[in-house]
A and B are shown apart, each in its own frame.
Chain A
Amino acid sequence: MKEKLIFTAYQKEIERTSSKKIGLLCPYTVEELIDAAGFTPVRLIPHEPNMRYADAYLPGTLCSYLRYVVDLSIAGELKGFRGLVINHSCDGARRTLDIFNTYMPDISTFFVDTPKKIDPYAVSYFKKELEKLKVYLQEISGVEITDLALAASIARYNENRRLLQEMYDMRANNPGAMNAQELLRVLDLNSTGPKQTTNKMLSDLLSARGPEKNGKRVFVSGNIFDTLPLLEYIEGCGGAVVGDDFCFGGRYFPVAVAENEAPLDALARRYLSRVPCGRMINFSERIDYIIEAAQKTMSAGVIYTSLKFCDNFLVDFPLFRERLDRLDIPSLFLESEYFSLRSGQVRTRVEAFLERL
């Protein structure tokens, strides 16, 4: 199939054009700084549902994504990485950092504190954190991060955001343009390759046209999972995923970084005031965003997913449901471990949900 070839070619191109990798876990990590230092920011994505070592370090009642990150690090899969940036995303991230510092001191990690607020004091504090990140990146790269280099990275990333927005719009207009497997492949490649290369990939994909496809329009909300099984169940049961707000999907690209300001100021402000994660004090704006996006994409229903043990996302569901109920928008709530969306139980719920629409 034509689409598949492009992916393989781009996979190769990404490998060819990647420089030394810096790992990241969370979209609050300011990738432009990493890019401007000459590194390739690479999101850590677990590929195998096979946790071997994490039990010895973190309890089973803690985020399975973080447990997989620890697991693959202990297994030595971070060998190709120059370092790892961990944001203060949550309590789990704090403890994960401690595990790295205590048991894997050879892996260079850098912690970036991240405020929960978005007022000028918070932005100012976050900017100071970014200055420290800049120093760290300069130290390990041996390269000075000039304002010019940073501005160029910002431009690249803004282009990436624009292209992703276009791709999402395209899919909302015609869900057949890109199916779930293709979408997730694109997002994964986008998160793991240099933006120079992935921008080209996105541009190419936008010019391709897929077959017209209809289906019951579904919006999916969530954080960080292996979502492929869920999206495939939706499509398999006659649904069409017309939008999402995943951390590295629909919530990753909105809001560009201002290009006419001092770069660190612009970055600090954009990253804090983008569509918020459940961890932020203005988390109810995420609920607004989801509802707005669901309505804009004419979704018939919303599937709200969250990783188990994620207070930042799980605790919002009652509020969210209340609002959806008032608007008469059907919703389905799924909580799962990182890989556990592949199950007969999830399929049954999805099927039943789609039957309601």
Chain B
Amino acid sequence: MGLKEKAKDILLNRPDPKKISRGALVTMLQTFLQPARCFGTRSEKRFSLAAYRHGSKFFKGGRSVFTSLFTPVEIIYAFELLPFPLEPLGALAASFGISTQLLQETEKRWLSSDFCSFHRAFLGACTLGLLPRPLFLMATSHACDGTMKSFSHVAHLVSKPLFFIDVPYGDQREAVEYAAVQVQESVSEIESITGRKLREDLLAKSFGYSNKMTALLSKMQDARKASPPVVYGSETLNLLMVWAMFAGSRVGVRILESYNNEIEARLKRGFQGVAAGKRVLWLHLRPYFSGSIMSMLEEEFRAVIVAEEVNTPVEEYLDVSNPWESIARKLLSRIWSGSIENRLKNIGRIIESHGIDGVVHFSHWGCRQSNGAVRMIRDTVAGYGIPFIELDGDCVDPRNYSEGQYRTRIEAFFEIMERR
């Protein structure tokens, strides 16, 4: 039995988190980042290894916390705990080819398939008992309604408390206060549960790393503005996971430093590895199972993703002298928070600064906060006189995937870009 098959067997047939072998994890994480071939950059390999070590700690019984994609994990690191983000587990499962089984598990139990498959996948994993129990869970209502539902259900399954930050709408005084007081409350609760007080020096360190990461991400996005692309968007789309797993840690800084240095170096020496024709802005997330529309778009049609909205740096710096408020502000200023204004402005900004030829919105099934905005995004993009295409699909569930249908759409989109 091949390593991949062996790992799959362990995961599905004899689920025992402690038995998941080192090798299986490496394979899992490698496939997570690059379905069919080797790493695209040295930084990606670095990220893989960091993710492997992180996952390894988790499965070996580290003091962990289940977190949602946008939980301020800087706090978790300040408590010297291990954040384990659940949504990326769906992505991992998809790239490893086991997402169907996880989804079917929830379908058996009457969970509606109208619901986002990222959430259904981790609910399936928890239902099957694939994951070690965390100390507690910490989640936010950003970016969607679904998070509160799925995390509440997981908390019930693992019988652990959930600390939830209800992120309000808008960024006025009252909203910031309401969000900040919840962050503060969560910290008190964590102190109770762990029996230790939050150390200000550790919080300062964590904030410092997070701010450094924001600055590095900014720098990286700046470097990609006008220059020919030296890295594929399919790869950089995964950087969202760096934030989910490592925001506020030294590892996170190292990964982003590595990307910055590598991109700079490639630019300097005139790297030829990415043959670019058109420059694309990619909105939302991407499919993680194999059968890739990503390589079709970027390599076959040479419509390279030079910018992704998910990697927009949030220009709010964390301030240890006003910690809860600055975390609150950061949550409230994210592009998917509140009204559609921030998101549309950001799209416009990127189109202008990155020399974009076309915009793609991947409409992930069940993601209403994002797909509900497509009409407004289409009109915004039309205002810049460049083509827009909406690709319907599912990031995690491979069952409805039809390569031919994507090919026609991507090809047609490319033809529109070509003839301008």
Q: Which of B79-120 contact A (CB under 8 A)?
A: 106, 109-112, 114-116
Check if A146 is an interface residue, CB within 8 A of chain B.
Answer: no
Chain A positions 290 through 315: 1 when the CB is less than 8 Å from some CB of chain B, otherwise 0: 00000000000000001011111011
Interface stretch (choices B31-39, B257-265, B295-303, B366-374)? B366-374
Q: Tell me, rounded to whole Å, the shortest Cβ–Cβ distance linking A59 to chain B.
A: 5
Whether A311 pairs with B340 at a CB distance below 8 angstroms is no
Q: Which of A63, A306, A318 has the most CB of B within 10 A?
A: A318
**Which of A279, A306, A316, A319 is close to B145, meaning CB atoms less than 8 Å apart?**
A279
Q: Tell me, rounded to whole Å, the shortest Cβ–Cβ distance linking B143 to chain A.
A: 9
Whether B169 pairs with A94 at a CB distance below 8 angstroms is yes
Residue of B nearest to A320 (CB): B110
Q: Tell me, rounded to whole Å, the shortest Cβ–Cβ distance linking B300 to chain A.
A: 28
Chain A residues near B376: list those with CB within 8 A.
98-99, 102
**Which of A57, A314, A319 is close to B156, meaning CB atoms less than 8 Å apart?**
A319
**Which of B175, B182, B373 is close to A121, meaning CB atoms less than 8 Å apart?**
B182
Check if B285 is an interface residue, CB within 8 A of chain A.
Answer: no
Interface stretch (choices A27-35, A85-93, A223-231)? A85-93
Check if A283 is an interface residue, CB within 8 A of chain B.
Answer: yes
Chain B residues near A306: list those with CB within 8 A.
112
Residue of B nearest to A304 (CB): B110
Whether A309 pairs with B368 at a CB distance below 8 angstroms is yes
Chain B residues near A162: list those with CB within 8 A.
none
Check if B339 is an interface residue, CB within 8 A of chain A.
Answer: yes
Whether B149 pairs with A311 at a CB distance below 8 angstroms is yes
Whether A319 pairs with B375 at a CB distance below 8 angstroms is no
| Given contact pairs A94-B339, A116-B141, A281-B152, A121 touches B372 in the complex (Cβ within 8 A) | no
Whether B368 pairs with A95 at a CB distance below 8 angstroms is yes
Whether B174 pairs with A128 at a CB distance below 8 angstroms is yes
Whether A283 pairs with B170 at a CB distance below 8 angstroms is no
| Given contact pairs A122-B178, A281-B164, A319-B153, A335 touches B112 in the complex (Cβ within 8 A) | yes
Whether B110 pairs with A92 at a CB distance below 8 angstroms is no
Check if B168 is an interface residue, CB within 8 A of chain A.
Answer: yes
Whether A62 pairs with B375 at a CB distance below 8 angstroms is no
Chain A residues near B363: list those with CB within 8 A.
59
Whether A61 pairs with B368 at a CB distance below 8 angstroms is yes
> In the bound complex, how far is the Cα of B369 from the Cα of A201, in angstroms?
41
> In the bound complex, how far is the Cα of B384 from the Cα of A3, in angstroms?
60
| Given contact pairs A97-B339, A128-B174, A321 touches B141 in the complex (Cβ within 8 A) | no
Chain A positions 57 through 101: 1 when the CB is less than 8 Å from some CB of chain B, otherwise 0: 111011100000000000000000000000010111011111101
Check if B235 is an interface residue, CB within 8 A of chain A.
Answer: no
| Given contact pairs A98-B339, A113-B175, A91 touches B145 in the complex (Cβ within 8 A) | yes
Q: Which of B163-187 contact A (CB under 8 A)?
A: 164, 166, 168-170, 174-175, 177-178, 181-182, 185
Chain B residues near A92: list those with CB within 8 A.
368, 372
| Given contact pairs A281-B152, A319-B156, A62 touches B145 in the complex (Cβ within 8 A) | no
> In the bound complex, how far is the Cα of B319 from the Cα of A176, in angstroms?
65
Check if B393 is an interface residue, CB within 8 A of chain A.
Answer: no
Chain B residues near A128: list those with CB within 8 A.
174
Check if B58 is an interface residue, CB within 8 A of chain A.
Answer: no
| Given contact pairs A95-B340, A98-B376, A318 touches B111 in the complex (Cβ within 8 A) | yes
**Which of A95, A101, A115, A281 is close to B372, meaning CB atoms less than 8 Å apart?**
A95
Whether B114 pairs with A94 at a CB distance below 8 angstroms is no
Chain A residues near B141: list those with CB within 8 A.
116
Q: Tell me, rounded to whole Å, the shortest Cβ–Cβ distance linking B186 to chain A.
A: 12
**Which of B145, B156, B339, B340 is close to A312, meaning CB atoms less than 8 Å apart?**
B145
Check if B148 is an interface residue, CB within 8 A of chain A.
Answer: yes
Q: Tell me, rounded to whole Å, the shortest Cβ–Cβ distance linking A305 to chain B.
A: 12
Q: Tell me, rounded to whole Å, the shortest Cβ–Cβ distance linking B370 to chain A.
A: 9
Chain A positions 102 through 141: 1 when the CB is less than 8 Å from some CB of chain B, otherwise 0: 1000000001010111000110110011000000000000
> In the bound complex, how far is the Cα of B374 from the Cα of A51, in angstroms?
19
> In the bound complex, how far is the Cα of B379 from the Cα of A56, in angstroms?
11
Whether B368 pairs with A316 at a CB distance below 8 angstroms is no
> In the bound complex, how far is the Cα of B109 from the Cα of A279, in angstroms?
21
Check if B161 is an interface residue, CB within 8 A of chain A.
Answer: no
Chain B positions 142 through 158: 1 when the CB is less than 8 Å from some CB of chain A, otherwise 0: 00111011101100100
Chain A positions 25 through 65: 1 when the CB is less than 8 Å from some CB of chain B, otherwise 0: 00000000000000000000000000000001111011100
Residue of A nearest to B143 (CB): A91
| Given contact pairs A61-B365, A61-B366, A125 touches B174 in the complex (Cβ within 8 A) | yes
Whether A281 pairs with B174 at a CB distance below 8 angstroms is no
Whether A317 pairs with B166 at a CB distance below 8 angstroms is no
Whether A117 pairs with B149 at a CB distance below 8 angstroms is no
Chain A residues near B366: list those with CB within 8 A.
61, 309, 311
**Which of A91, A116, A124, A335 is close to B369, meaning CB atoms less than 8 Å apart?**
A91
Whether A94 pairs with B166 at a CB distance below 8 angstroms is no
Q: Tell me, rounded to whole Å, the shortest Cβ–Cβ distance linking B151 to chain A.
A: 10
Whether A335 pairs with B368 at a CB distance below 8 angstroms is no
Whether A315 pairs with B112 at a CB distance below 8 angstroms is yes
Q: Which of B353-368 contact A (CB under 8 A)?
A: 363, 365-366, 368
Residue of B nearest to A308 (CB): B114
Chain B positions 329 through 362: 1 when the CB is less than 8 Å from some CB of chain A, otherwise 0: 0000000001110000000000000000000000
| Given contact pairs A59-B372, A61-B365, A99-B375, A317 touches B150 in the complex (Cβ within 8 A) | no
Whether A62 pairs with B371 at a CB distance below 8 angstroms is yes
> In the bound complex, how far is the Cα of B149 from the Cα of A316, in angstroms?
8
Residue of A nearest to B173 (CB): A128
Whether B153 pairs with A315 at a CB distance below 8 angstroms is yes
Q: Tell me, rounded to whole Å, the shortest Cβ–Cβ distance linking A280 to chain B.
A: 9
Q: Tell me, rounded to whole Å, the shortest Cβ–Cβ distance linking B168 to chain A.
A: 5
Q: Tell me, rounded to whole Å, the shortest Cβ–Cβ distance linking A321 to chain B.
A: 6
> In the bound complex, how far is the Cα of B365 from the Cα of A227, in angstroms?
27
9 additional A-B residue pairs with CB within 8 Å, beyond A319-B156, A335-B114: A92-B372, A94-B372, A125-B174, A129-B174, A281-B164, A311-B368, A315-B153, A318-B110, A335-B112
Q: Can you report 8 residue pairs joining A to B where beta carbons are below 8 Å apart?
A: A56-B375, A61-B371, A91-B145, A91-B368, A111-B169, A113-B169, A116-B141, A125-B175
